[in-house]
Amino acid sequence: KLKLRRVQEKILDAYQKCREARKPVKIVVLKPRKFGATTIVQALSYHHLRYFGGRSGAVMGDIASTGSTCFDMFKGFAENDKFNWPDGLGALKIGDKENNLTDYISLPNKAIYRTVTAGSSNANRSGTLQVAVMEEVAYYPTDGERDPALGFLGSWTRDTESSMACMISTPSGPSGTFFRYWSDDRNDWIKIFTA
């Protein structure tokens, strides 16, 4: 039987509370390394996009390999899904012409998920997202006033129950978007920390 770690339980609980309240999911996770926070967020991203068909999602990593690793987790859920969704469609078919499976996936319900890199000058520049996952946000490169996390969040549709955003990071000092969102008691993001 699958045993969840405490940080995974907290993330699932926060997600469930937002869904029950029919409000956008907004979660900030200060994570320990190798305890499954990223895995559970990718599982929730997959679930969310399967539940809300026709939506768009993306994961932004601090570097290309971080985004690719997260995207591969999402791809694993998509390729091995055995659940009978309301649309009657199951897992992705390997070699499906609509999927390159390297940087984007089109799910059977017309939801799309892709990977972008925080250091890219075109990171989700023209996209509108309902699911926005930012991995290792505290390590995003910033250049003066340019902050990729804010640009990425600027493309996120934040006002509907089909909206989901997660910022996940290990700590990296008292500066940057992750630190500001974590420290701001006035925002409505759910903050999760497990030592």
pLDDT of residue 88: 62
pLDDT band at 83 (very low <50, low <70, confident <90, very high): confident
Q: What is the pLDDT of residues 125-149, one digit of tens each?
A: 557 899 999 999 888 877 666 777 7
Percent helix, strand, coil in the chain, to 5, is: 35, 20, 45
* pLDDT score recorded for residue 43: 95
**Which pLDDT belongs to residue 110?**
87
Asked if residue 52 lies in contact with residue 111, where contact means CB atoms within 8 angstroms, the answer is yes
Q: What is the pLDDT of residue 52?
A: 92
Please write the tens of the pLDDT for every residue from 151-168.
Answer: 788 888 878 899 999 999
> CA nearest 148: which of 62, 53, 44, 77?
62
The mean pLDDT value for 86-104 works out to: 65
Query: Each residue of 17-61: pLDDT tens digit?
Result: 999 999 999 999 998 878 899 999 999 999 999 999 999 999 988
Arithmetic mean of pLDDT, 81-92:
74
Please say if the pLDDT value at position 101 is more than 70: no
Task: Check residue 49 and give its pLDDT.
Answer: 94
Length of the chain measured in residues: 195
Structure tokens at 60: 């932004």
119 compared with 121, residue with greater pLDDT: 119
More confident residue, 94 or 10: 10
Going by C-alpha positions, the residue among 60, 8, 15, 14 that lies closest to residue 35 is 8
